[in-house]
Amino acid sequence: MAKFGKSILYLAAAILLSLPVVSCHSTKHNTHSYRPYHERRNRDKAPHDNAPGSSKDDINRPIPGGNGLVSEEWARLDIKLGRKDNKKLYKELRRWLGTPYAHARHTCGEGTDCSGMVMEVYQTVYDINLHRNSAKMLEVNCRIIDLDDLREGDLVFFCTSSSGRVSHVGIYLKENKFVHASSSRGVVVDDLRQNYWATHFYAAARVSTGH
């Protein structure tokens, strides 16, 4: 009986050790627990019983993927801007749209990677120098904020590789849209609710002007 009990304990320990641990960190000094965007965004808020079309199943419904969440107007940044929108930011980002992806480059219209584009845009629009590396950009230049506090010009970071490190960054605009340099499509507008970005989302952050 004792041997049987030990066998059960060994089996339980083996199962626990085999479970995957999902985490992501920018550096060993600045860690942050990883949870997909669609599990973090407003998941603690239950839908109102009398809200149109609301049900208990809505919260578990898959979020649409692909480019279907980005309209033609958004894809071209040809959208109506309000008084509070930073027109200089939109104008600069519109210049970068369509720039092909190129590792370790940051030239508008010719080639850029994600952090290179963000670095150049911030220098032009805000006169702020950011770190060239996305993980360092988060650690050195930013402070993490809540998703619901995202506002125009904030940065959004993602874990897109198996290294367990922040490896991608984009510039948030509004209505869940952000601009980034995709390795396959170049500089484009995407939606944070798209399955890929929702799954690989790491943190929302605001640039600290003191750096």
Buried b (16+ CB within 10 A) or exposed e, 14-34: eeeeeeeeeebbbeeebebeb
3 state SS of 10: helix
* Active-site residue set: 114, 168, 180
CA separation for the pair 183, 168 (Å, rounded): 10
Kindly give, in sequence order, each residue whose CB lies less than 8 Å from that of residue 32, ignoring residues fewer than 6 positions away: 24, 25, 26, 144, 202, 203
CA separation for the pair 111, 121 (Å, rounded): 14
